[in-house]
Amino acid sequence: MKLFNITNELINNQEVIDKVIHHNAGAVSVFIGTVREMTGEKQTRYLEYEAYVPMAEKQLEKIGDEIQEKWPSAKTAITHRIGTLQISDVAVTIAVSTPHRQDAFEASRYAIERIKEIVPIWKKEHYSDGEEWIGNQKGTEKYPEGRPERIEK
Amino acid sequence: MVQILLFASLAQQAGTRKISLELDTPVTIEQVRDHLQNQLGQLTGIENALIAVNEEYADLTVEITKGDTIAFIPPVSGG
């Protein structure tokens, strides 16, 4: 059972959730990222995601390790889909279980923020009036260290 | 011989995702980048791409040796 994977298939949310449920978990926080139609004035027709798959899976695993360090009882599973996605399709599902709810909420948020920083996955928008590769969603011009670093909390 | 991987807009501009370069190693990433652009022409955005050597992020100063795989990672946009 892979806790961290990149797939070309439809994501089954329940499968991701089931990976983190165990007898000492009292909470599971699930984040699901879906394809949005309108971004400001721009209308998305569909999206294309690509990934550097082996490295992306390693980086997802690394996010799992970071979560483990910050919230030692947490268990994390992440599946990110690549390929062509239609409006409302699920692009990413993150499940984090912890003994108590507060940590689960925080850790699942941490996971999605880190995905947007360090995981080599790219999104190409196909708008009603053109197409573009999206990058730098966080608006950071350059990584100060020449590479993504840990989030300073 | 080093393997170069390109993604997203870089792959689109280059018209390829994978290219092998015959280089006298060791070379720096910067030298690899110059060779690549001599071969493929100017790739817009390559100077903002992060570098991964053998699937790990690496600094520009890292020396590349024979058989390494170098990936140019444009700003990511997963999620």
Q: What is the mean pLDDT of residues A120-143?
A: 80
Instruction: State how beta strands B69-73 and B2-5 pair.
Output: parallel
d(CA A151, CA A116) in angstroms, rounded, equals 12
Q: How close B69 gets to chain A, by Cα (Å)? A: 12
DSSP reduced 3-state for A125: strand
Rg (CA), chain B: 12
Q: How close A118 gets to chain B, by Cα (Å)? A: 7
Confidence tier at A89 by pLDDT (50, 70, 90): very high
Confidence tier at A152 by pLDDT (50, 70, 90): very low
Residue found under tokens 């006298």 = B24
Contact A54 B8 (CB under 8 A): no
Considering only CB atoms, B50 lies closest to which of A33, A116, A143, namely A143
What is the pLDDT of chain A when averaged over all its residues? 91
pLDDT tens, position by position, B8-18: 999 999 999 99
pLDDT tens, position by position, A30-45: 999 999 999 999 999 9
Q: What residues form DSSP beta bridges with B5?
A: B18, B71
- Using a CB-CB cut-off of 8 Å, the residues of chain A touching B76 are 116-122, 135
d(CA B10, CA A135) in angstroms, rounded, equals 12
Searching chain A, which residue's CA lies closest to the CA of residue B78?
A121
pLDDT of residue A136: 62
**Percent of chain A residues topping a pLDDT of 90:** 87
Helix (H) or strand (E) holding A76: strand A75-81
Considering only CB atoms, A147 lies closest to which of B5, B7, B50, namely B50
Render B17-44 in DSSP notation, one character per residue: SEEEE---SSEEHHHHHHHHHHHH---T
Between chain A and chain B, the number of residue pairs with CB atoms below 8 A apart is 84
Q: What angle do CA A63, A58, A87 make, to 5 degrees?
A: 75
Asked whether the predicted pLDDT for residue A13 surpasses 70, the reply is yes
Q: Where are the domains of chain B?
A: 2-73
Confidence tier at A142 by pLDDT (50, 70, 90): very low
What class does CATH assign to B2-73?
Answer: alpha beta
pLDDT of residue B61: 86
Contact B79 A115 (CB under 8 A): yes
Q: What is the mean pLDDT of residues A55-63?
A: 98
Asked whether the predicted pLDDT for residue A143 surpasses 90, the reply is no
In a mutagenesis test of the B interface, which of A125, A133, A142 is the best target, namely the one with the most B β-carbons within 10 Å?
A: A133
Tell me, which fold does domain A4-134 have in CATH?
Aldehyde Oxidoreductase; domain 3 (3.90.1170)
pLDDT of residue A95: 99
Asked whether the predicted pLDDT for residue A7 surpasses 50, the reply is yes
Q: What residues form DSSP beta bridges with B27?
A: B64
pTM: 0.92
A152's CB contacts (< 8 A; 6+ apart) are none
pLDDT of residue A1: 85
Searching chain B, which residue's CA lies closest to the CA of residue A112?
B79
Contact B57 A119 (CB under 8 A): no
Q: Is A150 on the interface with B (CB under 8 A)?
A: no
pLDDT of residue A131: 95
A115's CB contacts (< 8 A; 6+ apart) are A60, A63, A78, A80, A92, A94, A121, B78, B79
Higher pLDDT among residues A104 and A142, named by residue = A104
Residue found under tokens 């695993």 = A61
pLDDT of residue A148: 55
Considering only CB atoms, B78 lies closest to which of A54, A80, A133, namely A80
d(CA A6, CA A41) in angstroms, rounded, equals 31
pLDDT tens, position by position, B24-79: 889 999 999 999 999 999 999 999 999 999 999 998 889 999 999 999 999 999 99
Asked whether the predicted pLDDT for residue A150 surpasses 80, the reply is no
Q: Is A124 on the interface with B (CB under 8 A)?
A: yes
Q: Is A44 on the interface with B (CB under 8 A)?
A: no
Higher pLDDT among residues A26 and A145, named by residue = A26
Closest CA to A4 of A73, A94, A68: A94
